[in-house]
């Protein structure tokens, strides 16, 4: 192995050891060789609550399917860290918050996200996002 390969393996091991990516969730191959960046308008609704929450989701998806970015709820101050992975079939998982306070599972196709997560009140959170115009 070359010095660069060993360095890359060591960096990957450090990321996994730090818990940045769950081992069970593999990442997908994105269709181009460059990272893709998306800015999406988000509408969040809850199963047992009226109304909606609006936000902005900024995602960068690497060629190997790893996702990182930020989510900003327009009513709640500072942006939150987003990490996750995109599968080849369009399935996506996202963790929102520095320690993954919210875990979402859903689909991401043609720049449109539909995802669902559980919140501590045992309510279901629906997270829908489309490209910002």
Number of domains in the chain: 1
CATH number of the domain at 54, please. Answer: 2.40.128.120
Say whether pLDDT at 55 is over 90.
yes
Q: How far is CA 121 from CA 26, 49, 74, 85, 124, in A?
A: 29, 11, 22, 26, 9
Say whether pLDDT at 5 is over 50.
no
Evaluate whether residue 10 is within a structural domain.
Answer: no
Contact 90, 4 (CB under 8 A): no
Say whether pLDDT at 97 is over 80.
yes
Phi, psi of 6, deg, nearest 5? -65, -40
Evaluate whether residue 47 is within a structural domain.
Answer: yes
pLDDT digits 0-9 by tens, 116-133: 998 877 789 999 999 987
Contact 104, 91 (CB under 8 A): no
Mean pLDDT of 11-35: 44
Evaluate whether residue 4 is within a structural domain.
Answer: no
């Amino acid at each position: 192995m070359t010095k660069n390969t060993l360095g890359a393996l060591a960096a990957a091991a450090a990321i996994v050891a730090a818990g940045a990516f769950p081992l069970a969730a593999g990442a997908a191959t994105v269709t181009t060789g460059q990272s893709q960046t998306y800015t999406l308008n988000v509408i969040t609704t809850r199963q047992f609550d009226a109304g909606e929450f609006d936000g902005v989701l900024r995602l960068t998806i690497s060629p190997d399917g790893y996702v990182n970015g930020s989510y900003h709820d327009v009513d709640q101050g500072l942006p939150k860290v987003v990490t996750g992975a995109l599968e080849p079939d369009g399935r996506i998982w996202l963790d929102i918050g520095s320690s993954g306070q919210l875990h979402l599972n859903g689909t991401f196709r043609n720049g449109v996200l539909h995802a669902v997560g559980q919140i501590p009140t045992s309510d279901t959170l629906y997270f829908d996002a489309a490209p910002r115009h």
